[in-house]
Amino acid sequence: MTTALVTGGTSGIGAAFARALAARGHDLILVARDAERLTSCAAELSERYGVQVETLAADLAVRTDVLTVADRLSDAERPVEILVNNAGYGLHVKLLDDDLDAHTRAIDVMCVAVLILGGAAGRAMRARGHGTIINTASLAAYISQGAYSPIKAWVLAYSEGLANELHGSGVGVTAVNPGWVRTEFHQRAGIRTSSIPDFIWVDSDRVAAEALVDADKKRVISVPTKRWKLQKLLARHAPRSGVRWASRILSRSRQ
């Protein structure tokens, strides 16, 4: 039985990945900050799906915690076949804010940790000749919205670069680009969502299911649902001035 490690695996899209992977029969390693919630989620998944669930309490903004997770990914005697770099959160800060703590923490969690864990998993998987790395990016990577877009644009570009380095090794890399997903994400970030139409929202389980299908096919970029594929197409091929205008309108509607 193979093992999958999911960061941010106790809520939102991460929890959906954990459920989908457990349903496929994979043992799990869940990584999150809240030890109590980790224990609860692990017990529920183990009982429901009959898989073994290991937990690692870690704050991915703390380098020593990230390196602990990296060590687990590097353990040749307990191989991890699937890494889901999912930990992250919304940012409701401005690029002009003079207090940079929120920015640097977000970069540590959603960029630096992804770099470290992706590298550790990639080296171990390449040595074995197989494995899968899934990084959660966002459709925000294709627009220009505050601090979150550049972070997710980095995740997208990093995933493509990592896929190039691992090309031909048997290791697949997939960047998942969700749009608006019904999770705790927006509420935690203090982002208003009342102006977003209901038909745009998608369930997190659908995101995870479609992303895993794309990862199985070694697709580097995964955009779940036809509606989001259309939005990505528009964002990529529309004039950048138009994308910036739409991004300004969207940002104002969520303040």
- CA nearest neighbour of 221 among 211, 231, 230: 211
SS3 per residue for 115-171: HHHHHHHHHHHHHHCCEEEEEECCHHHHCCCCCHHHHHHHHHHHHHHHHHHCCCCCE
3-state helix, strand, coil in the chain (%, to 5): 55, 15, 35
Q: What residues contact 121, with CB distance under 8 A and at least 6 apart?
A: 5, 73, 80, 83, 131, 133
Q: Determine whether 49 is an active site residue.
A: no
Residue 184 is given by DSSP the state S
For 187, residues 6+ apart whose C-beta sits below 8 A from its C-beta are: none
What is the spatial distance between Cα 159 and Cα 133, in angstroms, rounded to a whole number?
Answer: 9
- CB–CB of 218/111 below 8 Å? no
Q: Which of 49, 89, 142, 148 is catalytic?
A: 148
CA–CA gap between residue 229 and residue 222 (Å, rounded): 9
Tokens of 100: 């940079």
**Sign of the CA dihedral with 146 first, then 147, 148, and 149 last:** positive
Among candidate residues 108, 122, 6, the one with its CA nearest the CA of residue 74? 122
The residues carrying an active-site annotation are 148
